[in-house]
Structure formats: structure tokens, C-alpha cells
Amino acid sequence: MVPGPGPGIRRSNFPATIRMQSPKRDLSSVALPPALIYATALTCGVLAALALQIYLRGAGFDFASLWGDGAFGGSARELRTTGPWWAVAGIAFAASGITAAALSRLPPPWRRLRLLRWVAGAALVLLLAQLGHPSAAPEGVGPGVHLAASLAALVIAAAMGLLGAYVAVRR
């Protein structure tokens, strides 16, 4: 009995060479845990809301001054000042919903559309760089009111982001 190559080695057509056979691994499509989906979606929603808040502050819609002007009354001018609050809640809901829907419906590993993901990531970095220009502190309000308004916007964004993720995963 002549000893031959082992189980993972096969002979080539040339008698002097022996090649290793690389086993092909099957890529399993394992579903992500729901806690990971919700955490990722919530993070994306809150970050989108914070980016919108920074953009709106640069455009002159500071949340503290809107809150200080009595935005929760009933006149038409006061109702118009609630638009940025609704925009923050809406962007958090939409961003979280889109993220949760993508994570719950597309199984990993995500090998397709790699170029599209790189382009989207580069566009996101450029967008955040444009939003990140420093802006002056609000003029008519104190730091406590500014902190309270920012935290209120953050809590609203987190609640709406979690709701958006829940709705997207359940459908």
C-alpha cells in the first residue's frame, strides 16, 4: 500500500505537484437578535435627530428660544414654532424605521451592494461635515433652558425612534 495524500489534499495533473483543496464554507443567514436591531435603529434615529437639530440651530431655529417664546400656546405664530420639534420627531421615526426594516429583513452577511454602501457612507460623512460648523450660543436664553430644551428634543427623538423601530420590525 502506497501512502497517498491526506483528505484535504488532491493530486494535480502534474505528477510532481500536490495542491491543497480549500473547503468552501457555506455562509449562513443568521437573523440578528431583536435587541441589536432595536439598539442600532434607536442610535441611528437619535443621531439623525441630533444632526437635524444642529442644522436647524444653524438656520436660526434654536430649540431653547422656540421653547422660551411660549411655543405651546394656541396662536398661529406659536404653532409655527413647533415645526422644528415635529421635524426632529419625524426624522427620528423615519431613520429608525428604515434602519430597523433593513436590519430585520436583509439577512447578514451583506456582501452585495458594497460600492453603494461606501458611496452612502462617504455622502453621510460629507453631510455631517457640513452640519458641524460651529454656531454661536443662543442669545436670549440661559444655559439651563438651553440644556432642558436640548434634552427634551433628545427624549422625544429617542421615543419616536423606538416607536419607528417597533413599527418597522413588526410589519
pLDDT of residue 29: 61
The model's pTM:
0.68
Rounded CA separation 161/100 (Å): 10
pLDDT of residue 95: 93
Residue 158 lies in a domain: yes
Residue 17 lies in a domain: no
pLDDT of residue 128: 74
| 138 CA to centre of own chain | 28
Helices 143-170 and 83-105, packing angle to 10 deg = 40
The identity of residue 103, as a single letter, is: L
pLDDT values of the chain reduced to their tens digit, one per residue, 171 residues: 556 555 656 555 666 555 556 555 554 566 788 888 899 999 999 999 988 888 888 887 777 776 655 545 556 566 667 788 889 999 999 999 999 998 888 877 677 777 887 888 888 888 777 766 655 555 667 778 878 888 888 899 999 999 999 998 887
Residue 81 lies in a domain: yes
Torsion of CA 137, 138, 142, 148, to 10 degrees: -90
Residue 91 lies in a domain: yes
The number of domains in the chain is 1
Residue 114 lies in a domain: yes
Residue 160 lies in a domain: yes
Domain of 85 in residue numbering reads as 34-170
Rounded CA separation 52/83 (Å): 12
pLDDT of residue 5: 59
